[in-house]
Amino acid sequence: MTAPIVLGSTSRHRAELLRRLLADFTQAAPGVDEAARPDEAPAARALRLAIAKAAAVARTHPQALVIGSDQVAELGGAVLDKPGTPERARRQLRASSGRTVRFHTALCLLDARSGVRHTHVDLTRAVFRALGDGEIARYVEREQPLDCAGSFKCEALGISLFERIETDDPSALVGLPLIALARLLRAAGHPIP
């Protein structure tokens, strides 16, 4: 019998993605402090937080395979956190206009029974087209991407902001790299499909 799967996230976007692979899983809030550490590289921060989320949920689900994931957006070496306000979202999008934003999406699959963990970090490059202030304002008003790293939702209208997206896994940009997750689940003995 395979272990139950728990997604260590309250994100509905991650849950929707995971439903592409699995019909049966539960979600649990990890309750992890996501503050950056001094001089922490974006990919390292994403991986640290994915591991921390999986570990936090594993403590309350000791018989489960726990999935933790985190995404950090980077523009010119600076992290683009979730904007939280429309003004910050507009500012982030103005800064991203005509430039490439790198998204580091980390994944941790932790077998709470054995403590064995498997990890992966995906790198996606989103190349923004030149954006005018009016279209940025309209986009932010319509989408309200205040809880999204980089201030956009590529699974919705945000796709119109790009020239192109360079990635090995298109689901990673939404927040859960499914190609890697399917591989990690198979390695942990959970059949996919």
CA distance 137 to 145: 12
User: Known catalytic residue: 70?
Assistant: yes
The span from the CA of 140 to the CA of 86, in Å, is 7
DSSP, collapsed to helix, strand or coil, labels residue 138 as helix
Alpha helices in the chain (DSSP H): 12-18, 42-58, 86-96, 133-143, 178-187
Where are the strands (E) in the chain, listed by range? Answer: 5-7, 26-27, 65-75, 78-80, 100-111, 117-128, 162-166
| Active-site annotation holder among 24, 33, 39, 70 | 70
The total of other beta-carbon atoms located within 10 Å of residue 100's CB is: 16
Quick check: helix, strand or coil at residue 187? Answer: helix
Hey, which residues are catalytic here? Answer: 70
